[in-house]
Amino acid sequence: MNGSQADDDADAMDAIRGSRAWQFGQSVARVWTASAADSLLLTMVRRFQVRRETLPRGERARATAVAVSVATAVHALLVGLVPAQLRPAVPRLVWVLVSIAAAAVAASQWAGKNQASDK
């Protein structure tokens, strides 16, 4: 890279960093970082992650499948409350099918428990 190209790049970066959009983004990042440290929701997520890591692998998979099943079922119910003109393009049936599939995975994980290989 020649000297004029490096100067042009430095000038471009100075222009970007001096823009209002960049300053706004930096302000949002500072506020986000400061609020994340005291966030109750993020604290709960961190605790959940620590507890999830202590579970055996099979239990983790089952817990994840149950969470996905419940989340998609609730999503499908909530989409039903939205007027038809404002609904997402993805049909509600897709979310119901995802919920059923996740519930089936959770059930199969549960049914496989306490077999001779688990002891």
71 with 51: CB under 8 angstroms? no
| Residue in 88, 60, 62 with CA at minimum distance from that of residue 75 | 88
Confidence at residue 109, expressed as pLDDT on a 0 to 100 scale: 72
109's tokens: 């994980």
92's tokens: 């509600």
Residue with tokens 């506020």: 31
Confidence at residue 17, expressed as pLDDT on a 0 to 100 scale: 86
- pLDDT tens readout for residues 33-83: 888 888 888 888 889 889 888 989 888 888 888 888 888 888 888 888 888
The structure's pTM equals: 0.51
- pLDDT tens readout for residues 107-116: 887 766 555 4
